[in-house]
Amino acid sequence: MIGINEQDLMLKPQDDESDIVLSVNGVSKKFCRNLKRSLIYGVQDITSELLGLREKSDKLRPKEFWALDNVSFQLRRGEALGLVGKNGSGKSTLLRIIAGLIKPDSGFVEVNGRVAPLIALGAGFNPILTGRENIYANMSILGLSKKEIDERFDEVIEFAEIGDAIDTPVQSYSSGMAARLGFASAIHTEPDILLIDEVLAVGDSRFRGKCFQKLHDLRQQGTSFILVSHDSHSILTVCESAVYLKKGEFIGFGDAASIMNKYEKDLFLADEEQSPKQISLLKAREHFGLEIQSIFFKNYQDELIQSPITGEPTKLCLKCKASEKIDNVSITFAIRGLGKGSETVLLINSMRDKEYISLSPGECEIQLQMPYLGLKLGHYIMDVYAKREKLYHLDAVESFRFTVEGSEESMSRCIFYQPRDWEIIEGMNV
């Protein structure tokens, strides 16, 4: 478990208990994989509860498993907390417990204020009702009177941008439209805590930008939120703290940067051994005159380095073996971040750089020299391709993983490293 460190304390200098809007205390929830048994256990539990015999048990019955095991954290007024974990790790279950939709088997949740869950797409809309009817139903469930909904109705449809479709049944909406309407009606209830489960991933990027802007405004007014996302960048830019779950196990609660670092490391590097300084590619592959034998990083003193460092001079090296003289070799490095839908963050091609590589028979080292490494801290996957005059495929290495390290704390919250100097010009020359 990741403990509370100095950074956590820095994040919350005011340790005022009245600021806590949500407190999750040792929450556990078990489910049963077998439907028939699950129904039997359900009937048993209800009967014993009605008879006042039910005791909270920390023991699992056959076929049961912990979907959440002893989860504890707090959320303060105006704070954004990221909730991360692989598929099936218990994130939705936790949000459903916080929203009061299901009860924990042990532990308890204290909520100070109004919770608006945006859990399923469309936030629980009834598909046969129109958008208009759903807004009324939804916002009244979240505690608003008809008069209050009337007052906000125009703002909701304006924010959701669904126009005339407001009077057609929600079942005819696209998933993006339903998500927009769900988001718009939830935020206009002015909740104290907003629970957001991946819904923002559905809208187009312009609408997403608008939602993030709205979330920012709500936070200024004191709304706190929990954001579930598989996209590290969203969590790192929006949230200051995070909770990490792994198959129901509570791995940690702390500042977003250190939790996301731990999560990414586990997610992608779990089965890798501590990566050696030099990655030898032992797998025999078919290659056409050029074989890439290993990939590694060096500093500008030509020493091998385990993990390159943001902003430092770095060489990315390929040890190759040519079986004959080869002219016009084109080398491509395609580097992408980790995680679902990660884009290519760096694409370098020697031909496009007008670098015409000619290799003599035998071994050689091809070096890409980077005076400043612009990649931010984190984990990456790289594909490398060697081609002859763009057309003939010589060799390729796919999914080479590496980690970029760094000492600048701010680098975990931005996208690239900017080499820079500062200068103050004073006096007459300005």
Ligand X SMILES: Nc1ncnc2c1ncn2[C@@H]1O[C@H](COP(=O)(O)OP(=O)(O)OP(=O)(O)O)[C@@H](O)[C@H]1O
Q: Is the dihedral of CA 206, 208, 209, 214 positive or negative?
A: positive
Helix (H, G, I), strand (E, B) or coil at 143: coil
Confirm if 235 and 229 have CB atoms less than 8 A apart. Answer: yes
Q: Which is nearer to ligand X, 37 or 214 (CB)?
A: 37
- Check if the beta carbon of residue 334 is closer than 8 Å to that of residue 375: no
Whether residue 144 contacts residue 189, with contact meaning beta carbons closer than 8 Å, is answered with yes
Q: For residue 49, give the amino acid letter.
A: E
Instruction: Label residue 410 left, alpha or beta by phi (over 0 means left) and psi (-120 to 50 means alpha).
Output: alpha
Residue 146: CB atoms within 10 A of its CB come to 10
Among positions 61-100, residues that touch ligand X (CB under 6 A) are 67, 85, 87-93
Mark residues 17-46: x for contact with ligand X by CB under 6 A, - for none: --------------x---------------
Nearer to ligand X among residue 160 and residue 193 (C-beta): 193
**CA distance linking residue 372 with residue 311, whole number of Å:** 5
Kindly tell me which of 82 and 311 has the beta carbon lying closer to ligand X. 82
Q: Please give the backbone phi and psi of residue 371, each rounded to the nearest 5 degrees, phi first.
A: -60, -30
Size of site (CB under 6 A) for ligand X: 10
**DSSP characters over 9-34:** HHH-----GGGEEEEEEEEEEEEES-
We find the least distance from the C-beta atom of residue 49 to ligand X, in angstroms, to be 18
Question: Applying CB under 6 A, does 189 fall inside the site for ligand X?
Answer: no
Report the candidate in 236, 242, 125, 238 with the shortest Cα–Cα distance to residue 184.
125
CA-nearest of 104, 158, 110 to 131 is: 158
Q: Which distant-in-sequence residues (6+ apart) come within 8 Å of 282 by Cβ?
A: none
Q: How far is the CB of 165 from ligand X (least distance, A)?
A: 27
Terminal Cα-to-Cα distance of the chain (whole angstroms):
54
Residue 137 Cβ vs ligand X, minimum distance, rounded to whole Å: 24
Q: Which two tokens stand for residue 236?
A: 């790192």
- Decide whether 90 or 311 has the Cβ nearer to ligand X: 90
**Which residues in 251-280 contact ligand X (CB under 6 A)?**
none
**Closer residue to ligand X in complex, CB, 19/64:** 64
In the bound state with ligand X, the residue whose beta carbon lies nearer, of 44 and 323, is: 44
CB neighbourhood size of 117 (10 A): 24
Of residues 89 and 134, the one with the C-beta less far from ligand X: 89
- Nearest approach, Cβ of residue 1 and ligand X (Å): 18
**Cβ of residue 212: shortest distance to ligand X, in angstroms?**
21
Q: Write down the least CB distance from residue 42 to ligand X, Å.
A: 10
Q: In the bound complex, what is the minimum distance in angstroms from residue 93's beta carbon to ligand X?
A: 3
Nearer Cβ to ligand X (71/309): 71
Least CB distance from residue 38 to ligand X, whole Å?
A: 6
Residues binding ligand X (CB under 6 A)? 31, 67, 85, 87-93
